[in-house]
């Protein structure tokens, strides 16, 4: 154990110079992912603003022109000055904000109207067609929304956890049935295999995203088929309303269940509540699954950017990452020149790390690393022989899926992490 193995390493001049890349900026993976996502969101918003401006701006200008001509014709026909007419229109806008409409609408602040309002508050939809105008109502809304929105977000997270668990059970049953039909399962231990085998199996993110997407489409189409004849909207407007409502955007240009009376009014309002609740929960779950996929894309982009910035360092790290032995650089000491290995390193090669670590490896460390390598190899061979899937906890950190709170933590715990090999 006291023997020392001397290893010969190339001189400093022989080691290639490290490329100046992303690693020289001292930005870790999480911060790099955050900055990249922020830049992509800004670019996405700029592109969306350009598209919507090109589509909607001409229509806005035409609407302003028609409105100005209408005001001028009305002023000349009834001999009313434009100033008096503008004052009257401002009063009408204030009446609209208070809930007054020309058409017959349901009362805004009776019990059912107030219940519809608080539903839009706690679900963060916020249509805007009903707003408090009194000081007491505005102050109460601040505290009421603070607690109600937090509780609703918790409900959405619990719904997400249960829907993912249900999908996992169904998809695992389908997987077992597929294995049974393919003849990979012995005929007498099917039930025991279902209980004891595949302990770490989790559904794929892409499969869950596909199922949630199809569910959202089905709910939106069914709800639109109900809104079109009842509310008098076109089917496209109904689909637009469903997305705006289910995603809790809530513009308020189209709002359901606002007329004074409907045919089968009680049944319609119950169905409206059911569709909005299930749609919001489904879209919320779908958004969280899509965020996992976006995070995977960000990891891929960071890897490609790292390859472009520092190819030599990435090759060296990829070689080191495949080593099962303990890296000799874990017990660092000051070199001969009186400086730490982190200062003035010309490259990140394996030989350079060994040279800076003292140029010596004790036999105790060497035998310990070999034991760990042998244990890891035996575990992998045992899992491969028994048909167990590979665990994802090791790759989750590499893929950037470790940790997370709230909905992200639920997705990390319930879904299988995607990797570059899939």
pLDDT tens for each residue of 47-88: 999 999 999 999 999 999 999 999 999 999 998 898 888 899
Q: How far apart are CA 281 and CA 395, in angstroms?
A: 30
Tell me: pLDDT of 373 over 80. no
3-state DSSP helix/strand/coil % of the chain, to nearest 5: 65, 0, 30
pLDDT score for 177:
81
pLDDT score for 348:
45
Q: How far apart are CA 286 and CA 283, in angstroms?
A: 5
**Banded pLDDT at 119 (limits 50, 70, 90):** very high
Which residue has better confidence, 146 or 328? 146
Entry pTM: 0.67
Beta carbons of 404 and 154 less than 8 angstroms apart: no
Whether 201 is covered by a domain: the verdict is no
Residue closest to 305 by CA, chosen among 23, 17, 47: 23
Whether 69 is covered by a domain: the verdict is yes
- DSSP letter (8 states) at residue 105: B
Summarize the confidence of residues 331-342 as an average pLDDT.
Answer: 44
303 Cβ contact list (under 8 Å, min separation 6): 420
Whether 232 is covered by a domain: the verdict is no
The CA angle 259-260-263, to the nearest 5 degrees, is 80
Enter the tokens of residue 321: 């990452």
Tell me: pLDDT of 92 over 80. yes
State the residue range of the domain holding 84. Answer: 29-102
pLDDT score for 46:
96
Whether 211 is covered by a domain: the verdict is no
Summarize the confidence of residues 231-253 as an average pLDDT.
Answer: 94
Which residue has better confidence, 315 or 153? 153
Q: How far apart are CA 210 and CA 208, in angstroms?
A: 5
Whether 274 is covered by a domain: the verdict is no
Q: What is the pLDDT of residues 374-393, one digit of tens each?
A: 666 666 666 655 554 444 44
Whether 382 is covered by a domain: the verdict is no
Highest mean pLDDT: which range of 177-181, 210-214, 389-393: 210-214
Whether 66 is covered by a domain: the verdict is yes
Domain count, the chain: 1
Tell me: pLDDT of 293 over 50. yes
Q: How far apart are CA 27 and CA 25, in angstroms?
A: 6
Whether 81 is covered by a domain: the verdict is yes
């Amino acid at each position: 154990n006291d023997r020392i193995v001397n290893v010969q390493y190339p001189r400093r001049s022989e080691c290639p110079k490290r490329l100046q890349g992303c690693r020289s900026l001292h930005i870790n993976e999480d911060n790099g992912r955050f900055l990249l996502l922020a830049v992509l969101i800004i670019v996405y918003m700029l592109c969306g603003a350009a598209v919507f401006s090109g589509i909607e701006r001409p229509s806005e200008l035409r609407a302003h022109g028609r409105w100005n001509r209408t005001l001028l014709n009305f002023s000349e026909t009834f001999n009313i000055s434009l100033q008096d007419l503008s004052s009257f229109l401002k009063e009408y806008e204030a009446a609209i904000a208070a809930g007054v409409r020309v058409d017959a609408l349901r009362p805004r602040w009776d019990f059912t109207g107030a219940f519809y309002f608080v539903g839009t508050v706690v679900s963060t939809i916020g249509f805007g067609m009903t707003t408090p105008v009194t000081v007491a109502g505005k102050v109460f809304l601040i505290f009421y929304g603070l607690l109600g929105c937090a509780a609703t977000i918790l409900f959405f997270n619990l719904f997400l956890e249960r829907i993912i668990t249900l999908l996992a059970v169904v998809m695992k049953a389908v997987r077992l049935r597929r294995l049974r039909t393919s003849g990979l399962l012995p005929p007498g231990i099917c039930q025991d295999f279902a209980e004891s085998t595949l302990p770490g199996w989790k559904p794929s993110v892409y499969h869950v995203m596909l199922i949630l997407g199809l569910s959202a489409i089905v709910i939106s189409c069914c709800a639109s088929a109900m809104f079109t004849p009842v509310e008098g909207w076109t089917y496209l407007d109904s689909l637009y309303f469903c997305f705006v409502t289910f995603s809790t955007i809530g513009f308020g240009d189209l709002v359901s269940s606002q007329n004074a009376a409907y045919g089968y009014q009680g049944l319609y309002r119950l169905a409206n509540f059911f569709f909005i609740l299930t749609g919001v929960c489904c879209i919320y779950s779908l958004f969280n699954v899509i965020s996992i996929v976006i995070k995977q894309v960000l990891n891929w982009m960071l890897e490609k950017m790292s390859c472009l910035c520092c190819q030599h360092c990435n090759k060296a790290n990829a070689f080191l990452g495949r080593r099962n032995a303990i890296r000799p650089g874990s017990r660092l000491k000051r070199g001969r020149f009186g400086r730490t290995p982190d200062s003035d390193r010309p490259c990140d090669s394996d030989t350079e790390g060994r040279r800076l670590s003292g140029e010596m490896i004790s036999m105790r460390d060497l035998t310990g690393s070999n034991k760990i390598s042998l244990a890891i190899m035996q575990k992998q061979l045992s899992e491969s022989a028994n048909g167990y899937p590979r665990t994802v906890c090791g790759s989750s950190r590499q893929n950037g899926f470790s940790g997370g709170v709230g909905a992200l933590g639920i997705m990390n715990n319930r879904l299988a992490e995607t990797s570059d090999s899939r």
